[in-house]
Structures are given as structure tokens and as C-alpha cells.
A and B are shown apart, each in its own frame.
Chain A
Amino acid sequence: MQGQHRILSKRKLSDEVYRMEIEAPLVARERKAGQFVIVQCDENYAERIPLTIADANAETGSVTIIFQTVGASTHKLALKEPGDGVVLLGPLGNPTHIEKFGWAVCVGGGIGLAPLHPIVKALKAAGNRVTVISGARTAELLIMQDEMKALADENIVVTDDGTAGRKALVTEPLGELCGQTPPPDIVVTVGPPIMMKFCAATTKPFGVKTLASLNTIMIDGTGMCGGCRVSVGGQTKFVCVDGPEFDAHDVDWAQMMTRLGAYKSLEQADHDRCHLEMSVEALEAKNAGAAGKVDTSGKAVK
């Protein structure tokens, strides 16, 4: 049965961040900014993980995903090589509502800069003046900077430790921009929930409309289970079909973050095991190399 998609290229962007191009001509043609895919390492026991489409090329028929190795499944995905297959379903979710708003401020944190990229692109193409705030823990984790610089009218860089740009959280420049006259017409934020929550809190007093792209736990991604549900304006919504974008001022952030932590202890155990397995593999590869048997498969990471 059809269903496997070939990995075309893989690049390690930083210690924990990978970029993969996957052959998926239909998805590449249909996808719009803000949509995501569900990826599975295999059809048997792998889990389904939602990843936002960072870029796509309709001509070559490929989509690009950028992901951080945060758990067992993303680690497994990172070990895949060009030529290997994955299961991929998409494009899923509602596209970002794009129009000519005027001045748009796009805030991306860490890996969130990847899904932010097509949104910046689309807002720019619609004739907006776009300011990007790129934030990360440290300079190493700052991704998509060439793309952002090329697209945005202004790219403000902040890092938690000051290794690149301003030593600040994204909310600092965001607050300053909102304080200008006139303030931004729209803010779009993608990143860790805690960052999006504080972005919402920053823009609210200024009355600046703010959209957040939510990243909840998902299983099917097609609206049939409600695993991704979250309260928005007091109503239960399914992120996979009603979202992933919602008015950030209406999202029940505390509930969303609690639900994200539902499997934390189990995930941690798997993650630890994965790190062990990866270090063992790396060691084995090193030993094999030392013994003169050079491992050319490139399977071992680091």
C-alpha cells in the first residue's frame, strides 16, 4: 500500500535541530502558510508527531520540516538518512489568514522560527511591512536567519544569554514595538507555549490583535480524537482542525500547558533511553573508526 515518503536531504542546523526535505508532491502543491504535517518513522510502532511545514517547493515536489530532538520519536527521525522513507500526512490544519494588515510583527522562538518562516513569506507577499523578532536560548539555536533577513523589513535578534543580538526575551522588543504610534496592526507568535503566553500578555494592554500557533499533543491530526483540545474563549476547540492558529488573548494557556505535560514522566524515560542509545551508537562508530573499519553509512550522529 502506498504511503511512504522519501527523505531527500538532511542537514543538522545545530546540536539538536535538524532540517529535512521530504518528497511529497501533493503536500508541496496544496500547503499554505500555517499548515502542518503528521510524520511517523514507520507504520508499525512509531508514534504520530505533528510538525509544521517550514518551506515547500512545488516544482521539486518537496516539503521541508525542521525539528528539534526533544524526545524518543524526534531522535529516531533524526537518525533517518536521505533515501529512507517516512509516513507523512498533510497538509493539515487551517492556513494562516493572510491579508494586507499594514504592519505585521512576527515573533518566533527557538524551533518556532521554522513554522514562522512561511507565514513571514506570505505576509510579505501580501504587501505587509513585516518586522520579525527572532529569539532563542543561545546563538547556536538561532535558525532560519538567512531567510528571515532576506524577507523581513527588520529582523530583531534576541538571545537569553546574549550570545547573539540583544540579551533579552522576545517580549522586550515586542513591548517596545507595541508602544510605538501607531502600534503594529497584527502580531503572530510561534514558539514554546510559555513564550506565546507572555507575548499575548505583552500585546493585550495595547489592544494589538495577536495570533498564536498552538502546538498541543496530537494523535490523528484530522479531528477524530480530541487529544489536542484546548479552551479558547471558554469553548473547547480541536487544534488540528479548528486551528492551529487562535486569538492568543482567548487561549487558556494554563490549561494548554498542563495538557502538554500529560505524558511528561513517560516521555522523559524514553528520552533518556534514546540519549543512551545514541551515545552507545556514537561510541561504537568511533571504535569502528579507530579499528580501521571506517563507518561510511553516516548513521551515527555526532
Chain B
Amino acid sequence: MSSMDTINDKNKARLELDRIRSMTLTPRDRMAIPVQDMPNQSAEARRSNMQEVATGYTPDQAMGEAERCLQCRNAPCVGGCPVRVDIPGFISKIKEGDFAGAATVIKRTNLLPSICGRVCPQEKQCQLPCTLSKSLKSVEKGVQIGRLERFVADYERNAGLLAPPPTAHSTGKRVAVVGAGPAGLTCAVDVRREGHDVVVFEAFHKAGGVMVYGIPEFRLPKALVASEAGVLESMGVSFEMSYLVGRTRKLSALLAEDGFNAAFIGTGAGLPKFMDIPGENLVGVFSANEYLTRTNLMKAYRKGEAATPLYPSRRVAVLGGGNVAMDSARMALRLGAEEVHVLYRRTREEMPARGEEVVHAMEEGIIFDFLRSPARVLGDQNGRVIGLEVTAFELGEADASGRRSPVAIRGSETVVPFDTVIVAVGNESNPLISRTTPELKVDRRGHILVDEKQKTSIERVYAGGDIVLGAATVILAMGEGRRAAAAINEILQ
């Protein structure tokens, strides 16, 4: 998008807003207001930079979009939000132009709105039950709740209004939070608010979990994550970085010897799954975790500055259809790959990735090979990847869950040349804490078992996020962190 287009769009938004404001709107009129598109960097430009793709609404665009909300009395959207943000409440504040007020409404229930507005799959959460989505028979035409949430959070930060939530007088009680991902950070804030001392233990050298090592800069700027962590520090939360609970210190020692009165485990699902096909250990095959950690956390894309090397890739195959696959594919493209394919066993409809990211990936020129999956990775005499043997699939009968499962088509194998393969077929729970804490009960997939208050089999130890749920979403992890914090605050009273 050229700067001229952007100016035209902004003017259009202003005119549209003036028009809307000049009349009394019936619900029918509101439904007729078109969705405000979010300004994006053009596909051409963003293919070769790491900057954020979506540049966010202008105030006029936000107010225009807010006018579309019907302010339903039963607010079905709220039921779709895992932390039950008062959506009509904050949108009506935007309508009035009171953006700071809108931020206050959101912050009552959501502590990381600039992140959630960017990475939540709104089309499966708040926007799915939106009355506009239903009436217009398209979830894409529902009120753009995520974009509005993001606008409000960005406004608050850019206006310098970001203030740490107030904390109660010190109680002298101490809480250990293991893992600085979305679950841990949320739990830390809520416990700290009640006046307890909180120490967050993080194995990496930067806080944020998947928000720093997994989700790329072009989707979630790292400065935002650092600013959220900074708010925690200004509340008095301490961070112990490069500290691996289980190895640097056992969880039981933190509780028994170091004076912690309670602990929260939010260590996530960071164990990559591989496909278990021949050739998977050839040079040039990466787990998406490795690929993204090298590029995001270790900043391997900053050639000449970062010491962590990047594998030179020209033809890249990404295996999988989730957000991690989209992130890997789009990252590979930005790092200079000539052709990037996403191989997915099912079709576009079944893809678990966030809708907007699939659209962005397609615009950027990622090639989607649906109903395809590799049977084997092929290598040369030096042990490096030269291609994939790919099997074609078709969708069979619907299974018990109603999902049609892919069936391999016999004799359909073809060989496709690739020099890099990124495996993004999911993650499992990180086993380190459970291996080093034998009394902690886990299910057979290593997920920590908790009760309805997130309490584990050990007294005073709580858990939440992906380590309990399996690989899920940022917002669900936050919801669990918040529930655990409430329970911890209760026992520490």
C-alpha cells in the first residue's frame, strides 16, 4: 500500500465516520456499515522486512468500526472470550472517543490486550457468536473486536498512559512462578496485586515464552512483550532469568527451603513433535521451534549482528497447518527463500491457523499444497536435504468428532525438490518439571493434572496454560493463570 493510498483510506474513514455520526442509526443501518479494513503493509513490501504486517486502526477507523456494534443486551461476544472482557462496554467507550476509558474497561479482565488483540483467533472466540457475524452469515463480517482491542491497547501505550496496576500492602508471603509465558505473567500480576512477593523463574534470557521465541516480530513486535514485562517489574515482580526450575533448583526446594508459600507452574508445551518418517535427522530438517527460536529469540535474521547462524534456504517445505506453520513459512520467505510450500494433510477449511494469518500468507506468495503429506525426507551423499517424497490424501468419512480424516491415496507418491524442511506438526508438554518432581501427577501425555482451581496433586502448587491444556492459545493460558492466581490469593489470605 503506497502512502497515498493510506492517506486516501484515512480520509475515507473520516468521511464515513462523519456520515455515520450525522444520522440516528437503526440496527439495520449499523449492520450496513462495511467492516473497517485494517491498514497493512503491502504484500510486496512486507515480504522482505520483519516489521509488523498490520499497522493498526487510526482513531477514525476505530470509531467507525465501533459504530457497527449493536450493543446487544445479552452480549454473546463476551461468552466467546475466555477471560470475559466486557466487549460492548469498551466498544461504547471507543464510540465516545474515550480510548483511555476503553482501556480501563479491558484491563479489568485482560492484562495483555495489545498481545491478545494481535494473536487471539477471534474468529473462533469472541467474534464467532457476535450478532453481526450471525446476521451477515460470515464471521469475517462480525465486529472486529480484536482489532479494536489492539487499537485501544496501542493508544494507551503510545499516549504514555500505561500504568502499573496498584498493589496492596506487602503481606510478606512469597509466590514462585515457573515460566514467564502468558500464563505465568498473568498469574504473577494477579498475585502481586494482593501484596504478595512474586519471583518469576524463566529458563531463557528473555521473558515472554512463546511470545518471544515463537510468534515472529512481524506478527507481534517484541518491544510490546518487553513493555508488558516491564510493567510487571514496575509492580515489584522480580525475575530470575536463565533459571531452569528442576535443574538449577528443584521445585520442592523452592517450597521447602527457599521460603516460597506457593508456586505456579506455567512451563508450556515446548517439546516439538516430529513426524517419525525416514530422513528426519538429515541436515536441513528443523522443528519449527528450532527455526523460530533461532530467528525470533536469537535474532538470526539480523545478519552480521547476531552470532546464531541461519541455514541458507532456497526451497522450503513447512509441514503442518497451524499458526506455527504459518509463522515458519512466512519467516522463511522473509529470510530470502525463493519458494515456500506449506504441506497440509487436510484442506483449507480444517486449518487450525488464525484466519487472518492464512490470508496474509497467501498474499505473500506462500504456496499451499493441501491434501499432501511427506512419506520420507530425501538427502544427498553429504547428509543434506534434497527433497521430499510426498503422498496425496483425500478426505474420508467423518470421524466421531465430526472431522473428516485424511486417507492416503495409494501410489500417489511424487518427489518434490526442497533444501529445507520445517516440521510444525505440534508440540507436547515439557517434561522437565514432572521428571524432576516425581510426586506431581501428570496424565499419560505429560499434562499436569489439576482440579477446578488449577491445584495440582501437591499442596500449594498450582499449574496452568499449555502444561495443563496441551498446545492451546495465549488467551486460554492467561485465563488459567488468572484462575490459579485467585486460588493462590485465597490460600494465602
Q: Quick check: is A211 within 8 A (CB to CB) of the other chain?
A: no
Contacts of B302 in A (CB 8 A): 45
Q: Quick check: is A262 within 8 A (CB to CB) of the other chain?
A: yes
**Most chain A CB neighbours (cut-off 10 Å) among B276, B298, B311:** B298
Q: Quick check: is A291 within 8 A (CB to CB) of the other chain?
A: no
Interface range for B: 35 or more
Contacts of A73 in B (CB 8 A): 307
Per the bound structure, the CA–CA distance linking A3 and B308 in Å amounts to 20
A47 with B240: in contact, given A225-B289, A241-B432, A255-B281 (CB under 8 Å)? no
Per the bound structure, the CA–CA distance linking A227 and B247 in Å amounts to 20
Per the bound structure, the CA–CA distance linking A91 and B432 in Å amounts to 13
* A28 shortest CB reach to chain B, Å: 11
A223 contact from B206, B233, B431, Cβ within 8 A: B431
The closest CB in chain A to the CB of B292 belongs to A225
Chain A 201-230, CB-CB to B under 8 Å as 1, else 0, gives: 000000000000000000110111111011
Contacts of B238 in A (CB 8 A): 2
Pull 6 A–B residue pairs with CB atoms less than 8 Å apart, ordered by A: A2-B243, A90-B248, A219-B294, A220-B204, A223-B271, A226-B272
Cβ-defined contact, A26 with B205, below 8 A: no
Interface of B toward A, CB cutoff 8 Å: 203-207, 229, 233, 238-244, 247-249, 270-272, 274, 276, 280-284, 286-287, 289-290, 293-294, 298-299, 302, 305-312, 382-383, 430-432
A92 contact from B233, B247, B306, B310, Cβ within 8 A: B247
Cβ-defined contact, A87 with B205, below 8 A: yes
- Given contacts A43-B206, A222-B244, list 18 more A-B pairs with CB under 8 A: A30-B249, A45-B298, A45-B299, A45-B306, A48-B308, A87-B242, A90-B244, A90-B248, A219-B294, A219-B298, A219-B308, A223-B431, A224-B272, A226-B289, A227-B286, A236-B274, A255-B383, A270-B307
* B122 shortest CB reach to chain A, Å: 28
A90 with B247: in contact, given A2-B239, A46-B307, A263-B311 (CB under 8 Å)? yes
* B189 shortest CB reach to chain A, Å: 16
* B207 shortest CB reach to chain A, Å: 7
* A81 shortest CB reach to chain B, Å: 19
Q: Quick check: is A1 within 8 A (CB to CB) of the other chain?
A: yes
Cβ-defined contact, A258 with B290, below 8 A: no
* B55 shortest CB reach to chain A, Å: 26
Contacts of B308 in A (CB 8 A): 47-48, 219
Per the bound structure, the CA–CA distance linking A88 and B430 in Å amounts to 21
Contacts of B310 in A (CB 8 A): 266
Cβ-defined contact, B272 with A225, below 8 A: yes
Q: Is the interface of A mostly helix, strand, loop or mixed?
A: mixed
**Most chain B CB neighbours (cut-off 10 Å) among A46, A90, A223, A266:** A223
Q: Quick check: is A259 within 8 A (CB to CB) of the other chain?
A: yes
Per the bound structure, the CA–CA distance linking A262 and B283 in Å amounts to 6
Per the bound structure, the CA–CA distance linking A46 and B242 in Å amounts to 14
Q: Quick check: is A231 within 8 A (CB to CB) of the other chain?
A: yes
* B304 shortest CB reach to chain A, Å: 9
Closest 3 CB pairs of A and B: A3-B241, A258-B383, A225-B290
Q: Quick check: is A40 within 8 A (CB to CB) of the other chain?
A: yes
Cβ-defined contact, A220 with B293, below 8 A: yes
Contacts of A262 in B (CB 8 A): 283-284, 311
**Most chain B CB neighbours (cut-off 10 Å) among A26, A76, A230:** A26
Per the bound structure, the CA–CA distance linking A261 and B284 in Å amounts to 11
Cβ-defined contact, A226 with B242, below 8 A: no
Chain A 39-65, CB-CB to B under 8 Å as 1, else 0, gives: 011011111100000000000000000
Cβ-defined contact, A230 with B248, below 8 A: no
Q: Quick check: is A267 within 8 A (CB to CB) of the other chain?
A: yes
The closest CB in chain B to the CB of A31 belongs to B247
Cβ-defined contact, B242 with A259, below 8 A: no
B239 contact from A1, A41, A255, Cβ within 8 A: A1
* A235 shortest CB reach to chain B, Å: 10
Per the bound structure, the CA–CA distance linking A48 and B309 in Å amounts to 11
A224 contact from B243, B382, B383, B430, Cβ within 8 A: B430
* A97 shortest CB reach to chain B, Å: 16
Cβ-defined contact, A231 with B281, below 8 A: yes
Cβ-defined contact, A227 with B290, below 8 A: yes
Per the bound structure, the CA–CA distance linking A44 and B272 in Å amounts to 25
Q: Quick check: is A123 within 8 A (CB to CB) of the other chain?
A: no
The closest CB in chain A to the CB of B239 belongs to A1
Q: Quick check: is A72 within 8 A (CB to CB) of the other chain?
A: yes
The closest CB in chain A to the CB of B427 belongs to A224
Cβ-defined contact, A223 with B432, below 8 A: yes
A45 contact from B233, B307, B311, Cβ within 8 A: B307
A263 with B239: in contact, given A222-B203, A223-B431 (CB under 8 Å)? no
Cβ-defined contact, A48 with B248, below 8 A: no
The closest CB in chain A to the CB of B382 belongs to A258
